[in-house]
Amino acid sequence: MPIPALDLKAQYATIKDEIDAAVRDVFANQSFILGPIVEGFEKEAATHLNTKHAIGVNSGSDALLLCLMAAGVGPGDEVIVPSFTFFATAGAVHRTGAKPVFCDVLADTFCIDVKDAAKRVTPKTRAIIPVDLYGQCADMEAVSQLAEKNKLTVIEDAAQSFGARRNGKMAGTFAHFGIYSFYPTKNLGGAGDGGMISTHDDALADKVRLLRTHGERPRYFNKAVGICGRIDALQAAVLRVKLKHLDKWNARRAAVAKIYDGKFSGNAKLRTPRVDAGNSHIYHQYTIVIDGEKRDAVQKSLADKGIGSTIYYPVPLHLQECFAYVGQKVGSLPVSEKLSKQVLSLPMFPELTDAQANEVAAAVLAAV
């Protein structure tokens, strides 16, 4: 039997009745934008995350954009982002007219290298966006120290880490802002696009809420130029159902990771993800690093056996065509560049069985 990298149908099968009822409820109410279901979801998410404000928006990408806008980032400013992340982290910076400045990541946790970031701070630097990549928190204490010293706004990109913790605190709640994505493949995924912003700051929350609806307050009177950035009630309805199951699902991901870790331990040809001290990793992805230049061959060997795997991400952002203008050349961020050639994310979803995980691990070991 093939083993996909991700199987969303398997998850739907376990919660079909709850989801279908929640969706029918939205249609019965015919209130599709914001409204009581969205407010309910925002309250439940804020409680889950132990944050003061959780604001539903239309995607993780626009969540980033809204935070930058609320922080007043714009032309002439620089924002430090890790090069090894999903495109949106830097795309949002460009959209404000500010310049993304790329820094490197740590080879073992894949998260921001704060020492490298510190070297890139200039008088123009206004903000920094650490990413909790693959499901574990970045070194948020070090990020906060750097930010306080240089008066930077911190936007924690927790798009892949809803429910992860660091020293007991939830991912996305360490900084001025945290953002989440509910893209369907994320560990908390909706039935389309969706996202969220968390903040403890009343004034910043108010700004985000204003900008999320074109800056209008009251209706048809615009105080600022915002965006059309609201979350749909349909997404909120689905996400409310899924949030109730999230702890259990995240725990199962960690159990699958433990199986992989056990099978791979001691193998010199690949590296397993290191969990940073104080972190509880939710393994949005289980990503290994394969030494040398064998990664693509390993992926093909898995595919030949019907086993899915994914490369997150094949091109570091400083080498993307659209960011050539930033001027960071090949060789400038060696860890990000090397990882993009060596990482491979293995099948990871809560419904994956122990037997399947063992089969995947065996196929990897046979191929490296």
Residue 86 engages ligand PLP in binding (rule: CB under 6 A): yes
Nearest CA to 90 among 285, 319, 283? 319
Q: How far apart are CA 362 and CA 101, in angstroms?
A: 40
State the Cα–Cα distance between residues 29 and 239, nearest whole angstrom. Answer: 17
Looking at beta carbons only, is 160 or 272 nearer to ligand PLP? 160
The residue (of 56 and 226) whose beta carbon lies closer to ligand PLP is: 56
Q: What's the rounded Cα separation, in Å, for the pair 88 and 293? A: 28
Query: Per CB under 6 A, does 181 bind ligand PLP?
Result: yes
* Phi/psi of residue 312, nearest 5 degrees: -110, 100
Query: What gap in Å lies between CA 144 and CA 152, rounded to an integer?
Result: 9
Task: Kindly indicate which of the ranges 82-90, 96-104, 259-267, 360-368 contains the residues binding ligand PLP, using the contact rule CB under 6 A.
Answer: 82-90
Q: Binding segment for ligand PLP among 40-48, 56-64, 111-119, 302-310 (CB under 6 A)? A: 56-64
The b/e string for 272-296 (b: 16+ C-beta within 10 A; e otherwise) is: bbebbeebbbbbbbbbbbbeeebbe
- Least spacing, CB of residue 43 vs ligand PLP, in Å: 21
CB of 189 to ligand PLP, least distance (A): 9
Measured between alpha carbons, how far is 348 from 4 in angstroms, rounded to an integer? Answer: 9
- The nearer residue to ligand PLP, 91 or 347, going by C-beta atoms, is 91
Could you say whether residue 173 binds ligand PLP (CB under 6 A)? no
The window from 84-92, 228-236, 239-247, 292-300 that contacts ligand PLP (CB under 6 A) reads 84-92
Nearer to ligand PLP, 67 or 237 (CB): 67
Measured from the CB atom, is 85 or 136 closer to ligand PLP? 85
356 binds ligand PLP, rule: CB under 6 A: no
Element (H, E) at 57: strand 53-57
Closest distance between ligand PLP and the C-beta of residue 162, in Å?
11
Among 11, 144, 153, 160, binds ligand PLP (CB under 6 A): 160
Q: Is 285 in the site for ligand PLP (CB under 6 A)?
A: no
Rule CB under 6 A: say whether 183 interacts with ligand PLP. Answer: yes
Using rule CB under 6 A, residue 198 touches ligand PLP = no
Closest listed residue to residue 241, CA positions, set 20, 7, 10: 20
Burial level of 35, CB count in 10 A (0-12/13-18/19+)? middle
Residue type present at position 349: F
**Interface with ligand PLP includes 88 (CB under 6 A)?**
yes
Element (H, E) at 356: helix 354-367
Closer residue to ligand PLP (CB): 189 or 298: 189
Q: What are the residues binding ligand PLP (CB under 6 A)?
A: 59-61, 85-86, 88-89, 131, 157, 159-160, 181, 183, 193, 195
